[in-house]
Amino acid sequence: MTIVDDFRLTLGGKQYVPIVIGGMGVDISTADLALEASRLGGIGHISDAMSTFLSDRKFATKYTKAKAKLHRATRDTFDKSTVKFCLEDLWKAQFQFVRDTMSRKIGDGGIFINVMEKLTMGAPGDTLRTRLQAAMEGGIDGITLSAGLHNNTMKLMADHARFRDVLIGIIVSSARALKIFLRGAGRVNRLPDYVVVEGPLAGGHLGFGEDWREYSLGPIVADVLQFLKKESLDIPVIPAGGIFTGTDAAGFLDAGASAVQLATRFTVTRECGLPDKAKQTYFRANEDQVYVSTLSPTGYPIRLLRNSPCINSNIKPQCEPLGYLLGKDGSCQYLTAYENTPVDEKGKKLPVTDKICLCYHFSKHNCYTCGQYVYRLKDTSHQLPDGSYQLLTAEHVFNDYLFSKEHHIALPEPEIPQVVG
Ligand SMILES: Cc1cc2nc3c(=O)[nH]c(=O)nc-3n(C[C@H](O)[C@H](O)[C@H](O)COP(=O)(O)O)c2cc1C
Q: Please say if the pLDDT value at position 222 is more than 60.
A: yes
Q: How does the average pLDDT of the chain come out, rounded?
A: 96
Give backbone dihedrals phi and psi of 124, rounded to 5 degrees, phi first.
-50, -50
In a mutational test of the pocket of ligand 1, which residue from 51, 238, 264 has the highest number of ligand atoms less than 8 Å from its CB?
Answer: 264
DSSP H helical segments within 30-107, as ranges? 31-39, 51-59, 63-70, 87-103
- Percent of all residues in the chain with a pLDDT value above 70, rounded to a whole number: 99
**Rounded mean pLDDT, 159-174:** 97
Q: Is the pLDDT of residue 250 over 70?
A: yes
Classify 245 as helix, strand or coil. Answer: coil
pLDDT of residue 417 exceeding 80, the answer is: no
CA proximity to 53, closest of 26, 81, 80, 84: 26
Ligand 1 contact, 267 CB (< 6 A): yes
pTM exceeds 0.75: yes
220 lines ligand 1 (CB under 6 A): no
Ligand 1 atom showing the smallest separation from residue 147 Cα: 11
What is the tens place of the pLDDT at every residue in 12-21? 999 999 999 9
12 Cα–ligand 1 center, Å = 24
Ligand 1 atom at minimum distance from 26 CA: 8
Parallel/antiparallel/unpaired status of strands 43-47 and 237-240 = unpaired
Q: Which atom of ligand 1 is nearest to the CA of 144?
A: 11
Round to whole Å and give the CA distance between 228 and 406: 30
Q: How far apart are CA 159 and CA 157, in angstroms?
A: 6
Task: Name the pLDDT band for 419 (thresholds 50, 70, 90).
Answer: low
Q: How many Å lie between the centroid of ligand 1 and the Cα of residue 47? A: 10
Please give the C-alpha separations between residue 148 and each of 84, 125, 177, 337, 386, in angstroms, as whole numbers. 21, 13, 10, 22, 43
Residue 171 has a CB neighbour count (10 Å cut-off) of 27
Q: Is the CB of 121 under 6 A from ligand 1?
A: no
pLDDT score recorded for residue 1: 87
CB of 369 within 6 A of ligand 1: the answer is yes
List domains and CATH numbers for the chain: 4-79+86-271+387-403 (3.20.20.70)
Mean pLDDT value across residues 303-331:
98
Q: Give 282 Cα–ligand 1 centroid separation in angstroms.
A: 14
Q: Does residue 122 carry a pLDDT above 60?
A: yes
Nearest ligand 1 atom to alpha carbon 242: 26
**119 Cβ below 6 A of ligand 1:** no
- Looking at residue 305, what is its pLDDT? 98
Confidence band, pLDDT 50/70/90 cuts, at residue 421: low
Question: Is the C-beta atom of 264 inside 6 A of ligand 1?
Answer: yes
List all residues 6 or more positions away from 258 whose beta carbon is below 8 Å from its beta carbon: 7, 9, 10, 18, 194, 236, 237, 238
Residue 241 beta carbon below 6 angstroms from any ligand 1 atom = yes
- The answer to whether 153 and 132 are in contact (CB under 8 A) is yes
Q: Which among 19, 24, 43, 196 is the best mutation to test ligand 1's pocket, defined by most ligand atoms within 8 Å of the CB?
A: 24
Whether the CB of 148 sits within 6 Å of ligand 1: no
> Residue 3: how many CB atoms within 10 A of its CB?
17
% pLDDT > 90, the chain: 96
- 109 in Cβ contact with 15 (< 8 Å): no
Letter for the amino acid at 31? A
Indicate if ligand 1 lies below 6 Å from the C-beta of 38: no
- Cα 158 to middle of ligand 1, angstroms: 27
Please tell me the distance from the alpha carbon of residue 108 to that of residue 252, in angstroms, as a whole number.
23
Residue 420 has pLDDT above 80, yes or no: no
Q: What is the CA radius of gyration of the chain?
A: 21
Ligand 1 centre from 365 Cα, in Å?
Answer: 14
- For the stretch 324-362, pLDDT in tens is 999 999 999 999 999 999 999 999 999 999 999 999 999
